[in-house]
Amino acid sequence: MKYLDEYKKWLTDSYFDEATKKELEAIKDDEKEIKERFFKELEFGTGGLRGILGAGCNRMNIYTVRKATQGLANYIIKQNGQEKGVVIAYDSRRMSPEFALQAALCLAANNVKAYLFESLRPTPELSFAVRELGCIAGIVITASHNPPEYNGYKVYWEDGAQITYPKDVEIIDEVNAIKDFSEVRITSRKEALDKGLLCIIGKEIDDRYIENLKKQIINPVSGEGADINIVYTPLNGTGNKPVRRILKEMGFKNVYVVPEQENPDSEFTTVGYPNPEDPSVFNLAKELAKKVDADIILATDPDADRLGVQVKDKNGEYVLFNGNMTGALIAEYVFSQKARKGLLPKNSALVKTIVTGNISNRIAEEYNAKLIEVLTGFKYIGEQIKLFEQTGSYEFVFGYEESYGYLVGTHSRDKDAVVSAMILCEAAAYYKSQGITLYEQMENIFKKYGYYEEQTVSVTLKGIEGMEKIKAIMEEFRKNPPKTIGDYRVLRYRDYMTDTITDVGTGKVVPTGLPKSNVLYYELNDDAWCAIRPSGTEPKIKLYFGVRGSSRVDAAERLRRLKNDEVFNIK
């Protein structure tokens, strides 16, 4: 069997180090584990690599990182971009510093200059640095909010956004063209430094990044607004220094950081799964918030591109806003305040992903902004910024996705939890000066646009069997598209894989106008919708539901009935 042959090669080839061989020797009697590690190569997908750490061609290790980097270097050389260089950042995960250095040394061995951050930095700062340094590309070593056994490798292009079509496919082809690890070049740190092909960066880029964040301030903090109590947890990741710095420089006096989650911890000991979408990661933050009577609780994921928010409700209890609520809160604040001050461009745009809630459509309409929908993945929002700059068609004001990713401004071309934390605290201070809390402002938004309620349900299906099951589920939905879901009629269904929107009533088919993606989306009556897609980064199939009700209670009941429909009984 092929996977056993590959396993034996890793055990015997002198290219692989002794620690790798020792790890593989320990699983010699576990054929299932051998198969999981070697039945395929860890795929370099449209965003890069993400996988479980360990020895083997289907795992994240220095060898798979080097191979990915060699493919990227080959592509850069073909584009004559080696002199521009590549900037590299990394987070607090296991092996992140090692992977970042290996990527830098592989680039240097190919005469591509590498700018390596001196220590961990947020993903949005990497995006900023690509353009600030005039690099051809960027690499960030992170697995975002995945459990501790994961790590990843994401590639950005010279516009500061993650790679999109056709560059993603072209780079993937270069990586796949490497048939043997012996083709991968590597040099030593000393040689790379001596040749000027490795440059260590840090404070200067930090300062420029923070200055660009400050340009997004609409209402400078003053008076009682500066006295709001803020509790923040970086969840042992990269957000600690930049979030605290920007809040301090804005003038906030009372910022309390959860001590157990302040410093880097690759095991994420206090939470295990460092995802700010999970209410349990806020447990320690809520304890601190109650002690200091916090107005707002903030949590950033390990690479500080996602932000979770909790605020006090009318009963004084801290409640978690979902990504759609936080996005709507930021959007309404930014658009309304820019409009109030005459700062809102006439050709302003609000960009959201296709699985983000429909309240954004109403906000865009209210402020005469162009609402643009893109595929799931913030790289498509970043791509729109580039297109706006090239065509002069629109000015980007705000973009967001339901999975806790938001961007105000264009300093970064990826979601930015640092600027999002900044703008939310600014909003909290502003609304406090108006005599209302963030919770009350959220209620005002619902009263203004309708009570929208959404939920994402993820079903984990691990391993080879899980991959096959996910594939079969998507095939079944395509063969037998539902006509009704819960209490709703399906008006139109979109298949982004076949680039079609089908009107159920007339049978008319029109194109989606977006690139191909394995997503099915059902437009329902009464502004409700649902969608299904495999996760691009985790062994999961994801279900999305959205409704609009006459009250919070009505919306919650509508959502409950929709998501419990037997159509989505997936196990």
Q: How far is residue 374's CA from residue 380's CA, in Å, rounded to a whole number?
A: 6
Measure the CA–CA gap between 209 and 23, rounded to whole angstroms: 41
Give the orientation angle of helix 463-479 with respect to helix 31-38, to 10 degrees.
Answer: 60
DSSP string for residues in 349-360:
EEEEETTS-THH
Q: What does the longest C-alpha to C-alpha distance in the chain come to?
A: 71
Look up 144 and say whether it is catalytic: yes
92, 144, 348, 403: the active-site residue: 144
Residue 189 and residue 105: Cα distance in Å, rounded?
7
Nearest to 254 by CA among 302, 291, 308, 220: 291
The three-state secondary structure class of 169 is: helix
Report the C-alpha gap between 145 and 54 in whole angstroms. Answer: 19
- Lookup result for tokens 């996977």: 3
Q: How many whole angstroms separate alpha carbon 148 and alpha carbon 143?
A: 9
Three-class DSSP category at 533: strand
Q: What is the DSSP letter of 266?
A: T
CA pair distance 384, 390, nearest whole angstrom: 10
Structure tokens at 63: 């060898």
Sign of CA dihedral 104, 107, 108, 112: negative
What does the alpha-carbon distance between residue 84 and residue 81 come to, in Å, rounded to a whole number? 6
Closest CA to 100 of 142, 161, 130, 145: 142
d(C-alpha 68, C-alpha 53), whole Å: 15
- In order, the DSSP letters of 369-430 are PEEEEE-SSHHHHHHHHHHHHHH---EEEEEEETTTEEEESSS-SS--HHHHHHHHHHHHHH
Catalytic residues: 144
